[in-house]
């Protein structure tokens, strides 16, 4: 009798352990449990922690409530200005109603992915190429609204949508590169023209100041010579003004006339010229001071005798 009671107790305990093992469930902090009892959804959603269901009657399905990062495959389309592009994006979403996400849609991840692809193609067709390249923030907001509208009925909330990359054909890349180069060249020419205008105004002011003092031109010439000679890699030809040479010639003529008299006094006695030679005028007999300086003092004294 006692053995039968012990055996029955052990059997009941084993059955209880098996029941608890089959009924016990653990829901993690970032999950929610949706219970189906005989195929019907119960009103309560199990929160995180330890929970118990009826074995073979209830079925617990866990739903992840974390934010999901889903890449959208690259979609090829034609923009409004007839340019073929490939655009890929990324979608951030999360489940806000676990029961709706399980009941209303078969696979909410797949549904969000397909909706994101179709919305991305629609955005490509409605936008220009410049908007895809420079005005992405506005496109991201429009894409988010297009995906979030049907997703709200699935218990899913779209947190954020970002366009990652826009792939262009090689011909379009070369065209855009030429356009950017031409724009840079135009800006460079405008800057150079502006610099020339400013420099011409300053040079005009400098010329007005130098015209008041002629010596300033000579000083500026010497400064230019010094700047060129500092390189030491070229031959410098410096022209002198004719007025300076004439000034030096006039300065040498008064000093040359007194210097010829002592030389003539110390010369030999005068010698009569031959009778056969024709007479010369006084102007022809007296050479110029410049010719006396060139021929030397001895020849000048002999001619004067």
CATH number of the CATH domain containing 157: 3.30.479.30
> In this structure, is residue 104 part of a structural domain?
yes
**Based on the domain organization, do 72 and 125 belong to the same domain?**
yes
> Residue 235: left if φ>0, alpha if ψ -120 to 50, beta else—which one?
beta
Structure tokens, 227: 């700047």
- Whether the per-residue pLDDT at 249 is higher than 70: the answer is yes
pLDDT at position 301, please? 42
Closest CA to 27 of 56, 54, 62: 62
**Based on the domain organization, do 48 and 126 belong to the same domain?**
no
**Based on the domain organization, do 100 and 125 belong to the same domain?**
yes
**CA 76-79-84 angle, 5° bins:** 45
Count other Cβ atoms within 10 Å, centred on residue 155.
Answer: 20
Residue where one domain finishes, among candidates 155, 172, 189: 172
> In this structure, is residue 244 part of a structural domain?
yes
Whether the CB-CB separation of 162 and 90 falls below 8 Å is answered with yes
For 263, counting Cβ atoms within 10 Å of its Cβ (0-12 exposed, 13-18 middle, 19+ buried), the class is middle
Residue where one domain finishes, among candidates 139, 172, 205: 172
| Residue 165: pLDDT band with limits 50, 70, 90 | confident
pTM assigned to the model: 0.57
Structure tokens, 108: 């909410």
SS3 call for 268: coil
**Based on the domain organization, do 98 and 159 belong to the same domain?**
yes
Q: 8-50 pLDDT, tens per residue?
A: 777 777 777 787 777 888 889 999 999 998 888 888 888 888 8
> In this structure, is residue 261 part of a structural domain?
yes
**Based on the domain organization, do 60 and 110 belong to the same domain?**
no
List Cβ neighbours of 108 (8 Å cut-off, separation of 6 or more): 95, 101, 154, 155, 156
Whether the CB-CB separation of 80 and 127 falls below 8 Å is answered with yes
Q: Structurally, how many domains does the chain consist of?
A: 3
**Based on the domain organization, do 46 and 85 belong to the same domain?**
no
In order, the DSSP letters of 192-248 are: HHHHHHHHHHHHHHHHHHHHH-HHHHHHHHHHHHHHHHTT-SS-------HHHHHHH
List Cβ neighbours of 133 (8 Å cut-off, separation of 6 or more): 166
Q: 145-156 pLDDT, tens per residue?
A: 889 888 888 999
Domain range for residue 303?
A: 238-265+282-305
**Based on the domain organization, do 27 and 75 belong to the same domain?**
no
């Amino acid at each position: 009798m006692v053995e039968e009671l012990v055996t029955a107790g052990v059997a009941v305990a084993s059955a209880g352990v098996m029941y608890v093992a089959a009924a016990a469930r653990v829901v993690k902090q970032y999950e929610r449990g949706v219970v189906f009892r005989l195929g019907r959804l119960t009103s309560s959603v199990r929160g995180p922690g330890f929970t118990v269901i009826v074995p073979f009657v209830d079925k617990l399905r866990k739903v992840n409530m974390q934010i999901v990062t889903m890449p959208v495959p690259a979609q090829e389309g034609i923009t409004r200005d007839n340019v073929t592009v490939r655009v890929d994006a990324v979608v951030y979403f999360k489940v806000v109603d676990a029961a709706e996400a399980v009941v209303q849609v078969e696979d909410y991840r797949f549904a969000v992915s397909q909706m994101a692809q179709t919305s991305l193609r629609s955005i490509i067709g409605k936008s220009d190429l410049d908007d895809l390249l420079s005005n992405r923030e506005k496109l991201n907001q429009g894409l988010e609204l297009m995906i979030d509208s049907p997703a709200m009925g699935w218990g899913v909330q779209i947190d954020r949508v970002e366009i990652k990359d826009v792939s262009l054909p090689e011909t379009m890349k070369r065209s855009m590169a030429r356009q950017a180069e031409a724009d840079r060249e135009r800006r460079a020419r405008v800057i150079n023209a502006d610099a020339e205008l400013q420099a011409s105004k300053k040079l005009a002011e400098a010329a007005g100041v130098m015209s008041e003092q002629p010596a300033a031109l000579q000083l500026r010439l010497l400064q230019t010579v010094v700047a060129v000679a500092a390189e030491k890699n070229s031959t410098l030809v410096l022209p002198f003004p004719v007025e300076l040479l004439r000034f030096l010639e006039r300065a040498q003529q008064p000093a040359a006339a007194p210097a010829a008299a002592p030389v003539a006094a110390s010369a030999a006695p005068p010698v009569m010229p031959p009778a056969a030679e024709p007479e010369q005028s006084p102007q022809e007999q007296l050479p110029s001071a410049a010719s006396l300086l060139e021929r030397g003092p001895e020849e000048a004294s002999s001619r004067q005798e």
